Structures are given as structure tokens and as C-alpha cells.
Structure 1
Amino acid sequence: MMRRFIPPALAFTCVLVSLSGCSGDGDDGARIRLGTVERGAVAETVEAPATLTAKANATLRSPAEGTVARLRVRDGDRVKEGQVLARISSPTAREQLDQAEEADRKAADGVAPPTGLAIADFKDEIDAIAERGFKKARQAAMAIEDPKERAKALAEITQAEGDYASAAGAAEAAVDRLNAGIGGVTAALSSIGAASRVQTQAAVKAARRTVDGLVLRAPFAGVVSLGGPSGGGNDALSGLLPAEIAGLTGDLAVPGAATDGSAVAVGAPVTSGAAVITVTDVSELRISADIDESDILKVERGSTAAADFDALPEAVYAAKVYSVGVTPKAGSGGGVTYQVQLDLAEGRLPDGAEAPEPKPGMSAVVRITVREVADVLVVPVAAVVSSGRDSVVWVDDGGKAVRRIVTLGAEGDGTAEVVSGLKEGDRVVVSGADSVEAGQDLK
């Protein structure tokens, strides 16, 4: 349930209105009280549930199955960008690198078609193997969580595909010349071998990247926690190395789906893609709020706001709108909401002392100031009664209640701006307005 309270911007407004008779705790709803319309300030706010998020969050995963060989951090440690956090021991990854390098050496020495297989058919088989390998490699690269590493892997695969296409074209031409009787078998096989080596070299590069990835480094400065959310593996080698060409046997793919251990310690086994360490950049904290569609058009970038957290209900934190989303999502009560990001500033306790810094993931309620007016006519919100589409205020006219339709402007938590229908000095019913009848004696 949302908590509502009058933000600091409205405290002054209520002081002004209190001079007009809106104060007086303990009055029951049936008692009629009058106040005087005066000038003041009103701040209109939009309130929404929110969650605190960090500037960045990265989960470091094991690129291959193995064990945790070294762990240099503990939960809550602050680390610098590039700092070594852990090392994974993976005989599987080392073996795959050795196999990839061996396959590349064999491809460099040339290939020979299997007995009884025509060179043209051998070329087609090589192309089919390459197509399957690159397709699997691209699928594996897409599973890499780190955007930079994913982009790097995809770029390498794209380059390898382009190099293979060029080499395959040369091999095709060599086979055509052989079939036309103007080329030799050696030249054709050499061209096919050059094409196959493009793929083996790409496999070596991917295998080396996996081995290098066994050393987990902080992608940016932040706070670490062991483990992390579950997710898929990130082995770009899987399916890339053509075992058929190299004459190798066995499955070279790294085991598939990753699992996240509940504890990470030296000697603990890890699967390919298993989360080992999560790094969170807390240098900037932002609030992610879901704003209802009925209010989103009022919110603008740069709008000021206040936030209070469930974990720190006595503290008030300043905030400012950083971005206003345009992608809708289904709201919990029907309709849609839009995400708004706010930069979080320092918070204050009731005694003025600095409030503790909240942690990412904490829930909050934000109140975004969408409109502020000063030196305008104001009345307590309790003075306004809705009557169909009209907003009505009961005015004291010679001691009798007179119904007055008003036009409202900015509406705050406790007060509302009156654009028309009243004038400064008018006496109005500010408590018990919903029980008043026309002509009722207000003396």
C-alpha cells in the first residue's frame, strides 16, 4: 500500500492555508468549519511505486566447465575496473584449444578427400560443414551476456564467414578449372584446404578466447557478490570446429545449459555459463518508477521529485527525472504504465541528518512534481465537492451556504488552485462541505 504525505514543497502552502482556518486536528467529518480564501502556492505531484537500480550490473560467468581455482574477493568487496576476481580451472577448455590448434595444423598441411569421393562433392561437403559450424557459432555467441563480448564474438564470426566465402569462391573456381581439364588436382585440393583453414583458424581464436575467459576480471569498478542470476552459457566455440575436416573424434561442444551454484568457493565445480561473481556499479543510483498512462503526459525530463523507501520510511530523498520511457507495459490493475528513470540524490531524516544510502533493489514510492504555481488563490482540497463534471465550493453569503462552481488548476496533496469562481477574502466551507445544503445557516 502506498504511503502519502505532504512533501516539503507543500508544507509552506499548508501554513498559509492554516491561517485561513484549515487547521484544527480532532474535528469530526460532520462538523462544518469555515476558512478564508487567500493566496498561496500549490505543487501538483504524480505518485507511483518504484524500485532502486544501480548504474550497471554485470554477471561474470564461467566460459567452460571446471572448478574455481582461485577466489580473490568476498561478498561486499569493492573492486576496481580490470581487477582479477577469480580464476577457473578447466581442463576441457585447455583440451579444446589443443584440439583446435591441431586441427588448424592439419588444415595447413592440406586435406585429402575420403576414398571414392569426387573433389566437387568433397567441396560441397566442406561447405555444408562450414555453414553448420558458423550457424552454431553465431547461436552460441548470441548467448553471451556481456554486450561488448557478444558484439566482439559476433564480429569475429562475421569476419570469418566473409573470409570463408572468399576462400570458398577460389576453391569453387579451382574445381571448375579441374573439371574443365585446365587445372590440377593439387591446386583444387589446395584451394579447398585454404577454405577449410579459415574455419579452423576461427575455431582456434574462439578456443583461445574461452581459455582467456577463465580469468574473471571486473568490467568496471563496483561492489561484488558471489553467484548471480541464472542464464545460458557463452561458449562461442561450440559447433565451430569441423571435426570431420580435421579427422578428430568426439564431441567438442562445451556442455549446454548453465546452472548457478548457491555457494562459490575455491574447489567448487562450475558448469559452462554458471554465474560466479556479480559486479554492481553503485556510483550512481537511479529509481525506476512505473507511471500510469493517465499521468505520464504530465511528467517531463528534469522534473524534481521526492522518494521514500519501505526500508527507510522516516527518510525523504531528493530525485530528478532522468528519462521518460515510451514503451508501454501492462499495469497490475489494468491499463498500461510507462517506465520513468530518476537520478537519486541524498536523503534527509526528520532531524535534518543525512539518511543512509539505500541499496539497489529496494522498493520505494516516488512523488514527481509535475506543476508548481505561486501567488494564486488556494483552497483546501476538502473544500471542493465533485458534482458530476463540476467542482463545487460552498460560499458563506451573509451567513447562508451558496453553491459556487469553480475551475481548478494545479491540485496538490492538501490544497488546490482556484482559477475562477472565487475571489480573495471569500469565506468558504473547508470542513464538512459534503454535508452542506443550499441555504443552510452557516452562522
Structure 2
Amino acid sequence: MKLLKIRDNSRQKKEAFSHIGKLTDRIADKTLEQLEREGVFLFPEAVEDAEDMTEDQMILQSINDGYRTGNAMGFLGWGDERLIIRSRFCGGGEDYFFQYLLDRVLDFPNIVDMETDADQDNRLFQFLLFLFPRYLKVAMRKGPFKQYIRRQYNDGNVKGTIDVARHIKRNTPFTGKIAYHQREFSFDNSLMELVRHTVEFIRGKHYGNRLLVKVKDEVKRVVDATPGYAPCDRQKIIEQNKRNAVRHAYFREYLALQRLCLLILQRQKHQIGSGSRQIYGVLFDGAWLWEEYVNLLIRDIFYHPSNKSGEGAQRLFHRNAGLIYPDFISRDSEKRIIADAKYKPMGNIGNRDYLQVLAYMFRFDAKTGYYLYPEAEGAGDLNLWMNRGSTYEANVVPRGDISVIKHGLQIPADAQSYSEFAVCMRQRERAFVRAFT
């Protein structure tokens, strides 16, 4: 297996990709939308759901004699070639930071060693399995999927269209039965059967029960809705779902679940990419992971509006003009604070970042703003006081009442194991939150 490890938001010489040239040719200068159509699984569920990943963003963008990566982290492969995109904040050793974000935000079991060169395909396959509970829970919020299906009967209670050829074949000589079919609105359809097959497959893994216990109620509803489940029908169910993707916009969560189930069940037999010439992989939006992780740390102190769900929408102006979604608004209305999560180093926070937070501060009468970012270099907080006056009058001086603070969460750089990294991160998290208490 040919393997290359690079970092997100970095530049690499093209010659570094020479030993994975076939894979590089198939992903370079392709947008996330194109890669998603070709089989790469993106998280959040689709490109249009990600606030920080756009459809025209590229995994590898050609710039002169090199390639530049974006915010996406994860695995990509083609044939026997593999590309791992790690976090740029992982320091010089193992990428425990990315693994820790997945653990905290998505509650992944800590059994994935992403830096083990051997058997990377199994690591990628485990990522798909670990995503299943989340996708199932989100989809099942709308209840079990129900659709019209065509069922065949052969009895004396005719309620549908008679199948003449089948009737002659099965009921000659006539025995009082009629062969017919009818359309029924049923929960026991090909999509729910696909989900059931995926559930049963995961149950067969040694960590399956641990994974599914998080969604035990949803699993029970799937099992109850699929009395026609038969293990031997798996391939038939897969083919039916490949031909009939969920199309209705209301059930978009089921489309994501359907894609994930197909990836799991199609790959489990021959492992990912084996004998295939198709691009495959799992990519995560690093900026989204960081923002959701920060929310876990400070949600008792801050509101967290969500652009994706529309929850907590704010307006700049009277009569619903100027829709905005600040990342974080403090719950303390007397000493209001606006905070913005940035998945970038301190030195890269500037220009439009400043304008955005200052606009939010002005809107909410906040005297203090924060940029919350991962700090890998060990730098302390940087407090920027807002100026007053004009260079034309030569009277520019800092105000003493309005400031923005770059407040970093210190990322351990010298941990010898994931458990040591996690313990250290818990300590750093407490110090990070202490600034707001």
C-alpha cells in the first residue's frame, strides 16, 4: 500500500505526491461536490449542510508547483494508494487532536488508531460504522420511512390488480385462489430493510452493541418496522436502494442514511477499494468539528445559534432585515460577550474576521469579543483594544472599554499516547473555560 500523510490548510510540493500519482490525478482540482458524487463521504451529511465547506472548495488545489489543502480532514483512496489529511494543529507527532475532536463531538469509540500504516482500509471502514448511530438518530426524528410498495398475493380476497400470467401458472387447476398485486403504504420497504441489514451487520462486530446502545430506541423502531427482514435478501435490498435513491426533499436525512448504509454494506464483503477503481474516503469539516467542540465546552455560558438548522437566528435591523448567526452570544445580558470559533492559527485571524465580530458586538451592545482558536505554539492571549480618532487628525488612541481577545485552547504537542493526550486536554479545557467564569 502506498501512503502519504499531509495536513489541512497547508501547501505541499507536487513531487511529494509522486508515489500516489493515480489517486492525486483523480482528486486534484476537483470540488467537494464532484468528489461527493463520485463516492467520497462528507461530514456534515452533505456539502450544502457544511457552513465552512463550500461546494466549490477543493481537497487539493493546484498552485504553481504545489498543492494546497483546505479545511477537510480524513482519508481518501484509489486502488492501493492512500492519502491521510491530518490536522495542522497536531504538532510533530501523532494526530491525536483530530481523533479527540471526533471522540468529543461525535462520540466515536476510542479504538481507531489513524496513524497506524497497516490496514488503513479497516480504519476507514470503522469511521463509516461509527457515523451510523448519528445518522440513524437524525433520520428517525421524522419517524420510520414510509412509502408505497408493490406486494404480490395469491388468495381468495382480491383487492388489487389480477396478475393473469402468474394466476395461470400458480392456480391451474383452479383452487379458489386468485393471483393479484396491490400498492401499499408501508414501513417495511426497501430503505427500512437496508437500515435493518446495516443494524444487523454492526451487531455482528465485537464493538457493535457498544455502538448501537446510543440509539437503542431507534434500533427497536427499525426492527419493529421490518418484520419481513431476511438475511439472505441483503444483496437484493442493496440493488433496490442503488436504483431508488430517496428523492423527496423532506426526507433528505434519509438520503444521507441511505448513502451511508450502502457504503457500509457494499464495502464489508471485499473491504474498501479492493478490486475497485473508484475514489473512496471519508472527509470531515475541520472548522465545523472545532466549533461544535467549543460549544461543548462553553454551552452553559453561551448561546450557540445555528445557521444550518436556523435555530437562534438574529437580525441586524428592524423589520427582520440583516439575518446573522453569531457563533456564540453570552447568556449574561449585563456583560454581554460575543465569541467566534476560528479553526485557524492566531496570526491568520484578521481583516474580515475583525469586521464581523465588531459588527456583532455593536449589534448586541457587547464591550468584549473573543476569537476561540486552537493554539499549538503555546502563545498566550492577545488583547486588541479598539482605536478611536483618525489618522487625518493625528489623534488615534486606544479605547479603554472595547476590545477583542484572541483566546487559544492550548493543544498538547508532546503526548506519548492518546490517553495521555486526552487527560492533558481535559486540563487545558478547564483553563480555557476559566476565562469566562
Shorter-chain TM band: under 0.3
* Bigger-Rg structure (1/2): 1
Q: Which has the higher strand share?
A: 1
- State the structure with bigger RCO (CA 8 A, min sep 6), 1 or 2: 1
Q: Which has the higher helix share?
A: 2
TM-score scaled by length of structure 2:
0.25
